[in-house]
Amino acid sequence: MEQQLHTRLAKLKAEFEKGQKRLEELETETNHIRQTLLRISGAIQVLEEILAQTEGEPAQASNSD
């Protein structure tokens, strides 16, 4: 009986450590995604501001469309 308890305890500890490691990985990934979204948001804002400024200007011919 005591050996079974030790075995179960060891399995639970290993599972707990595995869960903690996975949680840390997910938190790191979440932070990375937040930073990426922040950069994208900034780029969107800049492009919207540029487009708002050019709306009042006369259209220019462009060969890059």
Q: What is the pLDDT of residue 60?
A: 57
Range of the domain at 44: 23-48
Determine, yes or no, domain membership for 62.
no
| Torsional sign, CA 37, 38, 44, 48 | positive
Rg value, the chain, Cα: 27
What is the number of structural domains in the chain?
1
CA distance 20 to 9: 16
Please report which confidence band the pLDDT of residue 64 belongs to, taking 50, 70 and 90 as the band edges: low
Q: Residue 46 is inside which H or E element, if any? A: helix 2-54
Instruction: With a cut of 70, say whether residue 65 has pLDDT above it.
Output: no
pLDDT tens for 23-50 read: 999 999 999 999 999 999 999 999 999 9
Instruction: With a cut of 70, say whether residue 10 has pLDDT above it.
Output: yes
Determine, yes or no, domain membership for 3.
no
CA distance 62 to 14: 63
**CA torsion, points 4, 6, 7, 8, in degrees to nearest 10?**
80
Please report which confidence band the pLDDT of residue 59 belongs to, taking 50, 70 and 90 as the band edges: low
